[in-house]
Amino acid sequence: MRIKGYAFEPNEKELMEEYAKRYKEIKHLRKELNIEKYPKYGHTEFKGQLLTPVTKDLSELDLALLADDGNLCFGGECTKGQSTFSGSYNTE
């Protein structure tokens, strides 16, 4: 799933607030995902495991928000399987 960033968008403030609100609701689940990050030029790749029923119910957007510590200002992408997920978020 492609995830839209909020930087330079006409509704930047609203999207930023929406992402921040959702991250606040789910940030306690981050430790249950075993997220591994691999910084690259211009983006960071990530992957992890969906270890509990609650984490398996998270959306691709939720997983990307958790990987990027609630940011996603430049967007990214995430793919979710039965028990794993992977993707990347843009850093510039």
Q: Which residues pair with 90 in a beta bridge?
A: 43
What pLDDT digit, counting tens, does each position of 53-69 carry? 999 999 999 999 999 99
**Tokens standing for 90?**
């843009």
Instruction: List the helix and strand counts (H, then E) for the chain.
Output: 3, 5
- pLDDT (mean) for 28-33: 94
So what's the pLDDT on residue 2? Answer: 95
Q: Torsions phi, psi of 88, nearest 5?
A: -155, 155
